[in-house]
């Protein structure tokens, strides 16, 4: 893989311009780029529709208005050779990768910041153009040290910075000790005082927007049956922070009460919650509510380890518009097999894509990429490519309330794209592969051996 993918990408764009702007237009360049010869995927819809964007703003524009309204033409027309173009992927449950853990500030602020920048330029090559850096259950000092680095970062609109944080996801520590998974029991909190406990834990400034910007924390995963968390949900939601039910022993009624209070999401459905029982359906029962009742979005780890394929399909069939694929990936993504130190003095064994907490049989997260999860879901569920892509684009954007700027190919949205090749493998399975990644209207990655 080239070490200078950005330079390579620029060269490629120039080479692929099939409609030269000519001398006249060079003096009055529009900055408009047209992606053509592509199947564009927007929501669950796919069609042979060009995508236009403005390099100067890094935003998608309305092509009809452009050409028929004021006669401006595109500077560059890029033929994608029949490939798929879709919005950049969004991962809302992502603990770290490339030997960097968002929950570990132990190497100091400078190293933390440098590793975060490194991760952003690497993870974007997997198609993830924005994400929620996820911090697991920790002592409050850890939140106070890490969250200042993890707030929304896209306001600077620098494509060369790589993937963008949409705000942090605090997963715990207000969770059930009976459903802690690999979260350290010693750091869990009961939240008896409700919202003030959250302020104490995460830091009040991290839960508050400033200078017209949203709070650093975008999502909190908590168990509504713990302490006074149920009472705190409206106060969290009022700040534009998504409240997800997770790591929870909530009954169906307790989970339904959380939705009434303002919760809109379920964190990694099925994992770390009571299994479905036909008379006591628990959290999963929320997907079976009537059309008159609110049904939440839900995260699904389709890595082939956390869930059986049939269970993933069952959840999707129950509530297709709610399913959001997440990786739950952690710092060992991209590293060799072996035993590694983790937070709180624990160690994790990596064997292939399986991660186990040392001394237990507990799954400790995954190392699958979001595209791996999309490909698994595509093959397990039999849905269309557009429907599979929607689970990592439009659906998470809607869950976050960001569907005007992220996860769609609509005018006004950020020009974050993934261009995909589409193959059928020898075993008959379908496989999407990353061909290009664009961020804010700039090509930031291209597959090395891509044919032109
Ligand atoms: Zn978890």
Residue 71 confidence (pLDDT): 64
pLDDT classification of 17: cutoffs 50, 70, 90:
very low
Distance from residue 135's CA to the centre of ligand 1 (Å)? 10
Measuring CA to CA, which residue among 3, 52, 9 is closest to residue 450? 9
Residue 405 pLDDT exceeds 50? yes
| 235-269 confidence digits (pLDDT tens) | 999 999 999 999 999 999 999 999 999 999 999 99
Residue 298 pLDDT exceeds 70? yes
Give the predicted TM-score (pTM) of the model.
Answer: 0.91
Q: Tell me, letter by letter, the H, E, C secondary structure of 255-280.
A: HHHHHHHCCCEECCCCCCECCCCCCC
| 93-112 confidence digits (pLDDT tens) | 999 999 999 999 999 999 99
| 345-358 confidence digits (pLDDT tens) | 788 898 877 888 89
State how far Cα 99 lies from the chain centre: 19
Distance from residue 193's CA to the centre of ligand 1 (Å)? 23
Distance from residue 260's CA to the centre of ligand 1 (Å)? 23
CA distance 341 to 57: 43
Q: How far is CA 271 from CA 85, 142, 283, in A?
A: 32, 25, 11
Distance from residue 175's CA to the centre of ligand 1 (Å)? 10
CA distance 325 to 395: 9
* Active centre residues (catalytic): 328
CA distance 266 to 296: 7
Residue 309 has φ and ψ, to the nearest 5°, of -50, -40
Identify the burial level of 426 via C-beta atoms within 10 angstroms of its C-beta, where 0-12 means exposed, 13-18 middle and 19 or more buried.
Answer: exposed
Neighbours of 451 (CB within 10 A): 7
Average pLDDT of span 393-413:
98
Distance from residue 266's CA to the centre of ligand 1 (Å)? 11
Q: Tokens 């590694």 identify what position? A: 340
Average pLDDT of span 218-241:
97
Average pLDDT of span 56-73:
77
pLDDT classification of 18: cutoffs 50, 70, 90:
very low
pLDDT classification of 65: cutoffs 50, 70, 90:
low
Measuring CA to CA, which residue among 329, 301, 345 is closest to residue 184? 345
Lowest mean pLDDT across 121-125, 300-304, 363-367: 363-367
Distance from residue 294's CA to the centre of ligand 1 (Å)? 23
């Amino acid at each position: 893989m080239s070490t200078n993918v950005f330079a390579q990408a620029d060269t490629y764009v120039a080479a692929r311009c099939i409609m030269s702007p000519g001398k006249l237009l060079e003096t009055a360049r529009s900055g408009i780029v047209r992606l053509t010869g592509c199947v564009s995927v927007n929501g669950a819809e796919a069609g042979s529709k060009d995508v236009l964007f403005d390099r100067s703003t890094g935003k998608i524009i309305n092509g009809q208005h452009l050409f028929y309204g004021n006669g401006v033409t595109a500077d560059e027309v890029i033929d994608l050779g029949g490939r798929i173009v879709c919005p950049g992927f969004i991962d809302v449950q992502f603990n770290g990768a490339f030997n960097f853990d968002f929950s570990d500030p132990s190497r100091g602020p400078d190293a933390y910041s440098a590793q975060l920048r490194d991760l952003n330029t690497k993870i974007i090559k997997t198609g993830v153009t924005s994400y929620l850096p996820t911090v697991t259950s920790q002592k409050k000092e850890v939140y106070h040290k890490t969250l200042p680095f993890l707030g929304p970062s896209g306001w600077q609109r620098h494509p060369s910075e790589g993937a963008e944080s949409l705000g942090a996801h605090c997963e715990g520590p207000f969770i059930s000790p009976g459903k802690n998974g690999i979260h350290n029991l010693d750091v869990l909190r009961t939240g008896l005082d409700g919202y003030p406990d959250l302020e104490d834990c995460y830091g009040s400034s991290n839960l508050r927007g400033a200078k017209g910007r949203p709070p650093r924390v975008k999502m909190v995963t908590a168990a509504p049956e713990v302490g006074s968390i149920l009472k705190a949900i409206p106060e969290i939601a009022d700040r534009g922070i998504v409240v997800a039910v997770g790591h929870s022993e909530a009954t169906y009624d307790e989970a339904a009460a959380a939705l009434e209070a303002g919760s809109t999401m379920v964190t990694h459905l099925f994992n770390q919650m009571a299994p479905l029982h036909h008379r006591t359906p628990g959290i999963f029962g929320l997907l079976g509510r009537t059309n008159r009742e609110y049904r939440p979005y839900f995260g699904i780890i389709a890595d082939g380890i956390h869930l059986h394929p049939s269970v993933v399909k069952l959840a999707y069939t129950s509530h297709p518009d709610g399913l959001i694929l997440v990786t739950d990936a952690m710092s060992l993504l991209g590293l060799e097999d072996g035993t590694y130190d983790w937070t709180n003095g624990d160690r994790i064994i990596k064997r292939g894509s399986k991660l186990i907490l040392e001394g237990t049989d507990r799954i400790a997260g995954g190392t699958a990429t979001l595209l791996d999860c999309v490909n698994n879901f595509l093959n397990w569920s039999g849905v269309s490519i557009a429907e599979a892509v929607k689970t990592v684009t439009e659906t998470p954007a809607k869950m976050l309330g960001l569907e005007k700027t992220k996860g769609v190919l609509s005018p006004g949205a950020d020009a974050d794209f993934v261009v995909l090749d589409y193959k059928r493998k020898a075993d008959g399975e379908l496989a999407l592969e990353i061909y290009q990644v664009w961020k804010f209207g700039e090509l930031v990655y291209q597959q090395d051996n891509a044919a032109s």
